[in-house]
Amino acid sequence: MIRHAAGLATSKAGYLLAVLLRTETKTPIGVLNLADSEDGVSIGFGLASRHRGNGYGSEIVAYVTDWLLDQPLIWRVWGYCDEENEASARTMMRGGMRFEGVLRRFALHPNVSTGPRNCKLFASVRA
């Protein structure tokens, strides 16, 4: 379903990619963020609201996770979501990641509250 990811920007923090459908259109349907960390590579994703619920998110997570874990120096791919964001949690699990626990007061989500929020941590590791 996903056509390819086109690079939008890079920084010391990682890569921000646009996600396109396999159609003639060049309009992005979402974004994917990859960031190197001491604990492996973290992934973050977001889809335009009209493209949610079609399986694209879990397809992105599965494809990128598999590709990253095929790289010789990468042993762990992880991501997190707000503790109350069940849709993102399901997306990561459907993409092959496993729930590892809750990170207390881990990240700011200003669209939800002004203070740090608890987040669910998910990961895939190479055996």
Q: What is the pLDDT of residues 63-107, one digit of tens each?
A: 999 999 999 999 999 999 999 999 999 999 999 999 999 999 999
Q: How confident is the model at residue 18, as a pLDDT?
A: 76
Q: Is 109:117 a contact under the CB 8 Å cutoff? A: yes
CATH number of the domain at 121, please: 3.40.630.30
Determine the number of helices (DSSP H) and then strands (DSSP E) in the chain.
2, 7
Domains contained in the chain, number:
1
Range of the domain at 8: 2-125
Q: What crossing angle do the helices spanning 56-69 and 86-94 adopt, rounded to 10°?
A: 50
Q: Report pTM.
A: 0.82
Q: What is the pLDDT of residues 110-123, one digit of tens each?
A: 888 899 999 999 99
